[in-house]
Structure 1
Amino acid sequence: MTHAQPLELLRQARDRFTQREIAEHIGKTPKTVRRWEKGEVPCPAMLEPALRDLLQKAAHTPAGGGRFRFIDLFAGIGGIRMGFEAHGGECVFTSEWNGFSKKTYVENFGERHTFVGDIVPFPAEAVPDHDVLLAGFPCQPFSIAGVSKKNSLGRPHGFECTTQGTLFFDVARIIATKRPKAFLLENVKNLLSHDRGNTFRVILQTLRDELGYDVHHRIIDGQHFTPQHRERIIIVGFREKTAFSWDDLQLPSEGPRLSSILHRTDGTEPVLPWDGDRYFDHDRQTVQPKYTLTPKLWAYLQAYAEKHRAAGNGFGFGLVTPDSVARTLSARYYKDGSEILVSQGSRKRPRRLTPRECARLMGFPDTFRIPVSDTQAYRQFGNSVVMPVMREVARVMVPHVETMIEQEQAGVVQPPLAFA
């Protein structure tokens, strides 16, 4: 690497960022950045990947010039956001109650707009205007029981009745008030069968009948894009009738294998300044030993699996090789890693995935920073979305959103009115 490479990147970064902003990004002082810029001291090798990361974020984070505006509810660590930013969207509002998730989110996206914790008490009227609402909302039990009784009593009902007390209600009330051109909701596959189908029936009734949106849903398996069997339901809706079709999705018939996300031990594993040797020992070219299971834990998992095999159950650990497609990564992975254990040969105990490998398994780029403990990182990635799935759904959605924006600007359709 020549001195000119990082210096040229530094010049590019200075076109958009101050010395202080660059210093904060790479963990140095503004004085150090100034000395590099003036050529008083050579730029270190670590500067090039750090600046490429900063410039990439700048390219994918429109500064007030996005082609469309969106809000990110129940945001987690921003997986859905990344999918829509990749197609020109600008995030104007975020809600995430978990403090550890917020730390990861802000580390990677900054906090240039309103960021609230609990969305429940936040007034819908105070949410900024937006074109698309995104929400990976948690599923809480609710049913349609009692609606007929309320009818007989002459009491009002509708989505406020059937979903009050659930977090879906907070999505619905914001849609009702702000009337975005489109929305995307993501949840677990079991949402379809929860409460014998009543939960999903209420959701569709609310979105279609009460709020008047053109709604489409589909279960998509993340293994089209990453080596993980992970089925999730995606619900999208448009304020106007559109030609949206799931058939327009481009889902590879055969996805990658686990080797694509594992740390490489052949000398080609990238050195990430924000990771250092936290997960991978670059001198020894091996995963840090702390991720290998202890003898006690490995013995326990084997005995547990044998007990259930003898009983005719399918419970047990999931041992994977570089050619495998893994089970679903869960938020409990930090406990024992049992659903995805990487084989290290017959003479060595298996190991957990590292948090960096979990990030890759969810489709997050290596530029994504992990500022929290391993336990919190495992929880966050286990609760997140397969980012390339969101990016592909956004690719199909965005042209319809942009058409609606163009029609509105041309006066073909009236601006949205508050829902009554």
Structure 2
Amino acid sequence: MAFFYEFFAGGGMVREALGPTWNCLLSNDFCQKKADAYIANWGDAELVVEDISKLKIPVAFPRADLAWASFPCQDLSLAGNGAGLSGEKSSAFWGFVKVMKRLKRRGDQPRLICVENVVGTLTSGDGKDFSLIVDALTSLGYLVGAVVIDSVHFVPQSRPRLFIVAASSEIELPPEITSGGPSAAWHPASILRAYNSLHEKQRDRWVWWNLSEPNQPVPRLIDVVECDPIGVKWHEPDYTSKLMQFMDSNNRRKVMGAQASGKLNVGGVYIRTRNGVPRAEVRFDGIAGCLRTPSGGSSRQTLLFVQGETIRSRLLSPREAARLMGLPDSYKLPERYNDAYHLAGDGVVVPVVQHLSRQVFEPIILANLADHNLQEVA
């Protein structure tokens, strides 16, 4: 059995991904609404609802194999305020570092750390914020590497995210999970630029993680939509007509192409404001746009159902949002629409975490911890 901490746990999507062969020692989140969702699915035995800067981990716990931290992205996002790691939300990263330092002092630091956030982390503050994260982890005694994984390889949602994986320098890294240089699949130009901007001492502690590419079939957007959705209603025809009016000629041509096929086509729509004018952008490639936490209403994703002359629209349902995050239908969602959508839009995609675990975490643990009962993982 492997042990983990889940910081900024939300509804426990990392716990869902790691599965029963991983034992959660502690989960932590500051938001009570997310904590309520966590409790509904996992109970409250391991959950501590507290500001991470005030969090204390009991000495009685066994040493964790993994500490996961999906800290707030608002100040790092390309659509955010640019405050970076000094911002009100994203500065919570330093609370996580404080906890890791405390564990190191008592000899209990986790063997692995995974820090997850938006890809904008690589360029925030002209790269300074990424450098600060790497420096914080290497100063704790870790080797550090990063990959960008787009959930589109696993679920019908375009959602690229940055995963910074750190391994204790005291443990052995199986040779098959590292490489001598970057991979086109997991190390885009943004990572290469961020790596090249690091100080020499930071680059000396860098690891190029080597993951296999997924080969399982990926469902399409039409495969995850509900026939009789719960929690949302179909828009009135006037609203759907207005939605079409918000589209430019390029997006209207996409709708016309969907109509011409004669088949049922489902597209994802976002309404964005350009120069004070609302614009609707639609895609019919079988992939939903990236889920975002709802703010005001403009960031809620709309679905457009097109079949011949019939065009209908409605918001994405909570269950559909959960499916786009790879959550099973057995996962219990909050009753209020905004709470459920926020929980999904603020979470991590389950099969992405599973892929990281199988490709990196579990091989490291199996190579180093003969006393762990990980036959089921193997």
CA separation of 1:261/1:398 partners in 2, compared to 1, >3 Å: closer, same or farther? same
**Contact conserved, 1:320 with 1:340, CA < 8 A, in 2?**
no
Q: Comparing 92-101 with 131-140, which one deviates more in the overlay?
A: 131-140
- Counterparts in 2 of 1:8-407, with a 5 A limit? 67-85=1-19, 88-123=21-56, 128=61, 129-139=63-73, 166-178=91-103, 179-208=109-138, 210-240=139-169, 241-243=172-174, 244-245=177-178, 246-252=209-215, 255-263=218-226, 265=227, 280=228, 287=229, 290-295=232-237, 297-306=239-248, 316-320=279-283, 324-332=286-294, 335=297, 339-345=301-307, 346-396=309-359, 397-406=361-370
**Secondary structure in structure 2 of the residue aligned to 1:236:** strand
**Secondary structure in structure 2 of the residue aligned to 1:317:** strand
CA separation of 1:399/1:291 partners in 2, compared to 1, >3 Å: closer, same or farther? same
User: Which amino acid letter does the alignment assign opposite residue 293 of structure 1?
Assistant: H
**Contact conserved, 1:131 with 1:182, CA < 8 A, in 2?**
yes
Q: Comparing 67-76 with 369-378, which one deviates more in the overlay?
A: 369-378
Instruction: List runs of 5+ in structure 2 lacking aligned partners.
Output: 77-85, 104-108, 179-208, 252-272, 374-378
Q: Give how far 1:125 is off.
A: 6.1
Deviation by residue 1:261-299 (Cα, 9 ceiling, x = unmatched) = 112x4xxxxxxxxxxxxxx3xxxxxx4694322456445
Q: Distance in 2 between matches of 1:319 and 1:164?
A: 31
Q: Comparing 253-262 with 224-233, which one deviates more in the overlay?
A: 253-262
Deviation by residue 1:369-397 (Cα, 9 ceiling, x = unmatched) = 11331111111111111110001101121
Q: Distance in 1 between matches of 2:230 and 2:98?
A: 47
For 1:4, the equivalent position in structure 2 comes to: none
Q: Distance in 1 between matches of 2:323 and 2:157?
A: 10
**Secondary structure in structure 2 of the residue aligned to 1:248:** coil
Q: Give how far 1:75 is off.
A: 0.5
CA separation of 1:116/1:257 partners in 2, compared to 1, >3 Å: closer, same or farther? same
Deviation by residue 1:278-332 (Cα, 9 ceiling, x = unmatched) = xx3xxxxxx46943224564455444444999x99998334355x6111111112
Q: Comparing 348-357 with 193-202, which one deviates more in the overlay?
A: 348-357
CA separation of 1:308/1:201 partners in 2, compared to 1, >3 Å: closer, same or farther? farther
Q: Distance in 2 between matches of 1:226 and 1:164?
A: 28
User: Which amino acid letter does the alignment assign opposite residue 234 of structure 1?
Assistant: F
**Contact conserved, 2:240 with 2:311, CA < 8 A, in 1?**
no
CA separation of 1:333/1:351 partners in 2, compared to 1, >3 Å: closer, same or farther? farther
Q: Distance in 2 between matches of 1:177 and 1:324?
A: 46
**Secondary structure in structure 1 of the residue aligned to 2:369:** helix
For 2:269, the equivalent position in structure 1 comes to: none
**Contact conserved, 1:221 with 1:232, CA < 8 A, in 2?**
yes
Deviation by residue 1:190-228 (Cα, 9 ceiling, x = unmatched) = 1111111110011011111x1120111100000111001
Instruction: List runs of 5+ in structure 1 lacking aligned partners.
Output: 1-66, 143-160, 266-279, 281-286, 410-420
CA separation of 1:367/1:333 partners in 2, compared to 1, >3 Å: closer, same or farther? farther
**Secondary structure in structure 1 of the residue aligned to 2:290:** coil
**Contact conserved, 2:326 with 2:351, CA < 8 A, in 1?**
yes
CA separation of 1:230/1:298 partners in 2, compared to 1, >3 Å: closer, same or farther? same
Q: Give how far 1:105 is off.
A: 0.9
**Contact conserved, 2:231 with 2:317, CA < 8 A, in 1?**
no
**Secondary structure in structure 1 of the residue aligned to 2:137:** helix
Q: Give how far 1:104 is off.
A: 1.0
CA separation of 1:318/1:125 partners in 2, compared to 1, >3 Å: closer, same or farther? same
Q: Distance in 1 between matches of 2:240 and 2:149?
A: 33
Q: Distance in 2 between matches of 1:171 and 1:74?
A: 9
Q: Give how far 1:249 is off.
A: 3.2
Q: Percent identity?
A: 26
**Secondary structure in structure 1 of the residue aligned to 2:215:** coil
Q: Distance in 1 between matches of 2:349 and 2:246?
A: 30
Normalization by structure 1: what TM-score? 0.63
CA separation of 1:371/1:166 partners in 2, compared to 1, >3 Å: closer, same or farther? closer
**Contact conserved, 2:157 with 2:324, CA < 8 A, in 1?**
yes
**Secondary structure in structure 1 of the residue aligned to 2:166:** strand
Q: Give how far 1:80 is off.
A: 1.4
User: Which amino acid letter does the alignment assign opposite residue 37 of structure 2?
Assistant: T
Q: Distance in 1 between matches of 2:219 and 2:147?
A: 22
User: Which amino acid letter does the alignment assign opposite residue 134 of structure 2?
Assistant: L
